[in-house]
Amino acid sequence: EAGVTQFPSHSVIEKGQTVTLRCDPISGHDNLYWYRRVMGKEIKFLLHFVKESKQDESGMPNNRFLAERTGGTYSTLKVQPAELEDSGVYFCASSRRINEQYFGPGTRLTVT
Amino acid sequence: DAKTTQPTSMDCAEGRAANLPCNHSTISGNEYVYWYRQIHSQGPQYIIHGLKNNETNEMASLIITEDRKSSTLILPHATLRDTAVYYCIVRVASDRGSTLGRLYFGRGTQLTVWP
């Protein structure tokens, strides 16, 4: 069984530009989550999809962040426009049930 | 958000048991104890979870005190590859239709296994 995959593994953009991160969950997993770790801080929850519906988006920092999961398969997280404080590692996780979340390797975002 | 307390760091000799403690004195009756770990530069990895009984799987054992206010994760024979940050997380159990999927990661315990 393939694990959670994320693309790209690394992205370097300038402040003000747009970046789109992609997450492909494990096949059959209805639950999909986004987390991030910014420099020196703890891993923080961003949002939770159940299939294509946003179940909990209370962790999204502001309206520059937009997450979608069309068709209930892969998900994208767009940051527009990117700010310096958005730099960090963005993790995606998926689960069949809520108990065990399987994480991807993360996307390292650097905003310069 | 995090309702657990863990030591900042621990070390352990390779081949010996690593015992990682966690305090969760405000845990509610419907909250489980979960353990995850993050090996450097990788995504967090699920290890084990439990409610009140001790649990064991191929990775580790989880010992929860009778009053459920603390627990210990045991890696019975630590290897160098177990060097990682270990997170103890308390969360409401899964429930069909539950919206409580989020995990709260604190600072965790940096476990270093030395040869």
As a whole number of angstroms, the distance between CA B79 and CA B98 comes to 37
Interchain CB distance below 8 Å, B95 and A102 = no
> Between the CA atoms of A92, B99, A101 and A66, what dihedral angle is there, to the nearest 10 degrees?
0
As a whole number of angstroms, the distance between CA B92 and CA B94 comes to 6
Cβ-based interface (< 8 Å): residues of A facing B: 4, 31, 33, 35, 42-45, 48, 55-56, 59, 91, 93, 95, 97-106
pLDDT digit string (tens) for chain A, length 112 residues: 689 999 999 999 999 999 999 999 999 999 999 999 998 899 999 999 999 999 889 899 999 999 999 888 999 999 999 999 999 999 999 998 767 899 999 999 999 9
pLDDT digits (tens, 9 = 90+) for B18-46: 999 999 998 988 888 999 999 988 999 99
pLDDT digits (tens, 9 = 90+) for B43-98: 999 999 999 989 999 999 999 999 999 999 999 999 999 999 999 998 876 554 44
Please name which of A63, A66, A76, A64 lies closest in space to residue A32, comparing C-alpha atoms: A76
Provide the pLDDT for residue B95: 52
Interchain CB distance below 8 Å, A42 and B105 = yes
Contact A111, A64 (CB under 8 A): no
Q: Looking at the partner chain, which of A91, A99, A100 has a beta carbon nearest the beta carbon of B43?
A: A91
pLDDT at B101 over 90: no
- Distance in Å from the first CA to the final CA of chain B: 36
Share of chain A above pLDDT 90, in %: 87
